[in-house]
Structure 1
Amino acid sequence: MHLVENYALAAASKIAKPTIKTSYFPVGSRKYITLHASSGMGSKNYDYYKDVIKIIQPKIKNLGYEIIQIGEQGEAHIDGSTSLLGQTTIRQALFVIKNSSLHIGNDSFSCHAAGAYDVPMVILYGPSRPECCGPYWGDKTKQELLAPDFSSLKPSYSLEESPKRINKIFPDKVAEKALNLLNIPNELNLINPIHLGESFYLSIIDVVPDFASHDKLPFAKGSSINIRSDYTDEEQYLEGWLSSHKTVVHINRMIDLNLLFKYKDNIQKIFLYMDETFTQDYMSDIDRLAIKTVLYHNNKETITEARIKFFGENIYPNEPETKKDLDFPDKICNNSFYQSSLNLFSKDKIYPCKAALDRQIEKQSEHKIIDDPEFYRESEFFKIYNYAKKKENN
């Protein structure tokens, strides 16, 4: 039963189409798509709208469409959209929705308003079923309501989820439905999803300190970065990076702690990957740094001995993602590609992941997957998919 029907039954009332009053708001574009990326529940908020916009933007730009983000002040602005966050009243936001060519968003008031105005829409659901909470009014042929597979794991109806079910919806599928409703030709139906990493929506900066920091790098001086000292034995450039950026430091050997102490105010956290060579004195010195440190042990066969040796420390097994941890591991084939949200800098070049660095494959818009344990170790930052047409031609 739909919520509207449930409310009507409880109130002994009839259901009628609502009358919604709007207030004029000057939108600078004649053709636009509205995006409402927030809601009153964290579990309803989709994290991959940036990727959706990245996919549809080249298709709609030449046709004169603009993407307008509505919402409250303080909400995160989605790159690629024009922000009206905090600039409209509710009635003005309704005016913007009413006159849009398409509405994209989560389960929130805006989708119900779009339904009442019969605006085409793509709406995403995670903790609830669209049959229960979807738009009640409007032409259903113009409504694409997307949800994860509920066949085995039912909706939680929870305010918060970890991981969020809504993030199981592939951004390419959202983009495909949006373009179809706008009657814009596309071949996104040829993309078969394999895996959507939990951190793919984050833009991650990893730096191997094997070259000097300089001002021409594509990220701001003072920005937060990950120092991957565990990827190199070089230390001559480490001080330059520690002095110029807020950092999270990854180490896998007993490096000079005097350097870390000197720049401790710039170090937010240390990830330490231990082996049998680490001494009790060194670990005591780590504690005296007073920097939040997370300890991992690289050998699961000797981790018990390490926990006894360093009694009182929380030591976690260094067990990375594997191929079997992908959403659909059986679909991996010679036609599988990936995109990465990792930006791994080494010797002034950018790589999509450690496995690509090892093979000197510089970052591009997409790559053939690398069927190697080192690749799957970082799969939380990947979007992996197959191209159906190419696969058929093989």
Structure 2
Amino acid sequence: MFKLKENNTTVSTELLAGLTTFLTMVYIVIVNPIILADAGVPIDQVFMATIISAVVGTLWMALMANYPIAIAPGMGLNAYFTYAVVVASDGKIDYMTAFSAVFVAGLVFVVLSLTPFREKLITAIPQNLKLAITAGIGLFIAFIGMRMSHIVVGSEANLVGLGDLSSPEVLLTLFGLGVTILLMARNVYGAIFIGMVVTSIAAMVTGQLKIAKVIAMPHLPEGILVWNPIAAMGDVISYGLYGVVFSFVLVTLFDTTGTMIGVARQAGLMKDGQLPRVRSALLADSVGTTVGAMFGTSPTSAFVESSSGVAVGGRTGLTTVTVAVLFMVASFFGPLVASLSSVAAITSPALIIVGSLMIGAVKQIEWDDFGEAFPAFLVILTMPLTSSIATGIALGFISYPIIKIAQGKARMVHPLLYIFAILFVIQLIVLPH
């Protein structure tokens, strides 16, 4: 089924690769509930929804596409869901309404994945804007990590300022960050997860963490949250969440496609520059996003941490089946995750470090070309400053064609980009955002 011989791998290698990938990405089952809890979603609900979406998306990737690429709720999009959509609405939009937007985005994503339009959309967006989106999200989530742990705090003079570095919470965060950085520097697989474990132990020793229970039967406190496409679309229309849906689709589109191609290239799975079974692979995150929204989590995407499994020999879907099974096992540790979620210092280092990895995309931006550089700069600058991925994307997509027209290069801009620019202008001026 997985064509192990054809891919020059063995069962034992695939199982080890699956374990490695799981250890490098399992932090998401702790980080995701903490972030979405700020939107009011029960931690137990997000915990199980995270696992369900990861299992569904990853198994689809394994069984339908036979690739060693794992799927789970994406970093950055979970922060956007919480802080830019729910919290920023000042009570006008609750998490149920926001999940309607995610559900609709998932359905749109499924349709796009079944047609050639997804590939055309990827081609239409300038490479420098794609890189800027990744970098901007990196700054955004790193800033959230520093804010959650109170390394930075609100300031009347400068909006933000340095927090009290002598406070127990900040000291624990800096300790966890230091441990994780050392592990990352030594190329230790699962460095982020191991760093969280060490920080948790330190939190217990210092009295900042108390664990009453570790294991319990998996459960969903609120059951299925969204299931009716018509009702979900009604919420999107009523609250003007078109820009939110578009942002979810756009960011997931680039994130997943870029990760998929990068990991596949690393594994030697590309054939003549093309990814075989690409449509089946692209459906994995689409299905995962739709199912995840039904149970209560933000959009899923392909995890770049899959490259760690590929590095130890993972080449087929057996690697990702292993990941999915391990996520199922993790579902029994809900009470432990709930306890860990009460201490921001345990997860903040993960956000900061993932942000640092994402900001690396700036090195590939063409900074010598003003027409490419300034729109990218706007995207990167405005995402963390406005706490909105959508606003960053909008300003980048509006400024890009305007500058190209001024440079006499209007024909170099894909027609779809002009359409996006007009839609974003309407969104920023007319619709809530």
TM-score bracket for the superposition, by shorter chain length: under 0.3
Greater share of helix: 2
Q: Which has the higher strand share?
A: 1
TM-score normalized by the length of structure 2: 0.21
TM-score by length of 1: 0.22
